[in-house]
Each structure stands twice: as C-alpha cells, then as structure tokens.
Amino acid sequence: MGGIKLVVTDIDGTLVEIGQHVPTPVVLETMQAVQAAGVIVAAATARPYEMARDLFAELGFIGPSIFDGGASIRDVQTGELLWQNWLELPRLKEVAAILLPHAETVDFFPVLNMVPAHEVTTDSLIEPAPYAWAMIHETALRIVQEQLIGLKGITVHPGVGKPDQPGLVDIQITDARSDKFHAVTELRKLVDANVTETLAIGDGNNDIPLFQNAGTKIAMGNAIPELQKLADHTIASVQEDGWAEAIQRFVLR
C-alpha cells in the first residue's frame, strides 16, 4: 500500500462538493475499503465538529480528526476534545471588534452558534473560542483583512461566497498556530504515524500548511494553482470523484 499509514483529507471541495453533507457512492465505497485495509483516515477541515458530524457518520470515520481550521482535534464518534489551541478571550474580542461592523452573521463561541451580528457585542463574549467566524459584506473584505493583518499571532482564512447570500463572503480567524500544519503534528502523535507515512489531499488555501506537513501531497483537479504547484500529483476534480482516484492510486495500489 505504498507505506501510507495516515491519510489526512480536506472536506469541502475534496471529499465532497462545497457545502454538501452526503458523499457519492464511489467515495463511500473507497472510504470503506481504505479503512478496512487498516489505513487511518482523518479529516482536516475548517468546519466545526457539529457541521461535520453527520457526514462523518455517513462515511464511517473513526478516531481523531482536525476541526475548526486546525484549532481542535476531536474524536469523530464521541466529540471528545483531544487537543485544542483556541483564541484566548482578549484576542477574540480584538478580532470581533474588527468583524462586527461589517458582518451579517457571526460565530465567536466555544461550540457552533451562528447568530445575527447585531445580537453580539465584544462585552457579551465571556469565553475563549476555537475561531472567530463571520459572514461579512464582500465590499468590506479588503479593509477587514488589512485591519486583521495588524493583529499579531492570528491566521486569517478567507472563504467563499454563498449562492443564497449574494454580496456576502465568510471569513474565519484562528490562532496562528491553529492551522493544519500544527494540528497534523499533534494528530500524528495521537495515531503514531510519521511524516513519510502521511498522505494529504486538499484543494484550497488552508491546505497549503497541510501539504507542508505530509510526505505525499495530492491536489484535487479543482484545487487552486498554488496548491497544485506544491503537490506531488494532481488528480480528478471533486465532481469526478478525484478523492477516490487518489486513494486507489496512491494508498490501495
């Protein structure tokens, strides 16, 4: 099987199409086959646990996976928090103060809780959180990013717009060490795997740190050009079940 012990995979745009919660039959069959072969499959996703739980159950994930853009590692079956590197309260309030004037919806809380921005103030935040997330006006994205750059010790993950919310784009902020690079290092400790035994699959900006911490790097056909340049191999797109192709070619061969 090519010496791969651990597969770390992005979710949206990689394992399923963006925003989807149901895998294709080909991906489901391949997931079952690779886990039956004794290979550990873990996700590394910007999704919070609550937004991935049903998909993970459908796919039959077991063991630990990375959530919240790299801020948390949880057991996918129980939700138990195995490792965390969250935004401490003072930093969370600084980030929230930048996002709130431009946001429609926010989530600044320890567990998934998307609420209208007008219901939140910095004074109402009382606990650390794995991330700060907001749906902001697209026209404000540049100024928000410029203001966030002035804060040290954070990573900004700009997202994509939603077809049902024209003019808005999501943005997620984590601690600077809460990315997929650092989280994969902690994940490998939990599953006893090394870099050369690790294969990473992804498509987006936040998968660049993931690729920097894996022995084998597979980019989806729909991946951004920057990620494809870092990849050892580029396979079919998510619409063409590229994830299943990658597992068949480079893990189950």
Alpha-carbon torsion, ordered 95, 164, 226, 9, to 10 deg: 90
Distances in Å between the Cα of 111 and the Cα atoms of 130, 131, 147, 213 are: 8, 10, 26, 27
Residue 103 contacts residue 77 (beta carbons within 8 Å): no
Q: What is the pLDDT of residues 14-38, one digit of tens each?
A: 999 987 778 999 999 999 999 999 9
* d(C-alpha 82, C-alpha 66), whole Å: 10
What integer pLDDT is reported at residue 164 of this predicted model? Answer: 74
* d(C-alpha 117, C-alpha 107), whole Å: 9
pTM: 0.88
When the candidates are 3.90.950.20, 3.40.50.1000, 3.40.50.360, 3.40.50.2000, the CATH number that belongs to 6-84+178-250 is 3.40.50.1000
Q: What is the pLDDT of residues 44-84, one digit of tens each?
A: 998 899 989 998 998 889 999 999 989 999 999 999 999 99
Sign of the four-CA dihedral 21, 27, 29, 30:
negative
Mean pLDDT of 83-93: 97
Straight-line distance from the first to the last Cα atom of the chain, in angstroms, rounded to the nearest whole number: 6
Q: Is 242 helix (H, G, I), strand (E, B) or coil?
A: helix
What integer pLDDT is reported at residue 163 of this predicted model? Answer: 67
Give me the helix-helix angle, 25-36 and 242-250, nearest 10°. Answer: 30
What integer pLDDT is reported at residue 1 of this predicted model? Answer: 44
Centre a 10 Å sphere on the Cβ of residue 172 and count the other Cβ atoms it contains. Answer: 21
- What letters, b where the CB count within 10 A reaches 16 and e where it falls short, cover 204-232? bebbbbbbebbbbbbbbebbbeebbebbe
Q: What is the pLDDT of residues 108-137, one digit of tens each?
A: 999 999 999 999 999 999 999 999 999 999
Mean pLDDT of 169-192: 94
Q: Looking at the chain, which residues constitute the CATH 3.40.50.1000 domain(s)?
A: 6-84+178-250
* d(C-alpha 180, C-alpha 44), whole Å: 7
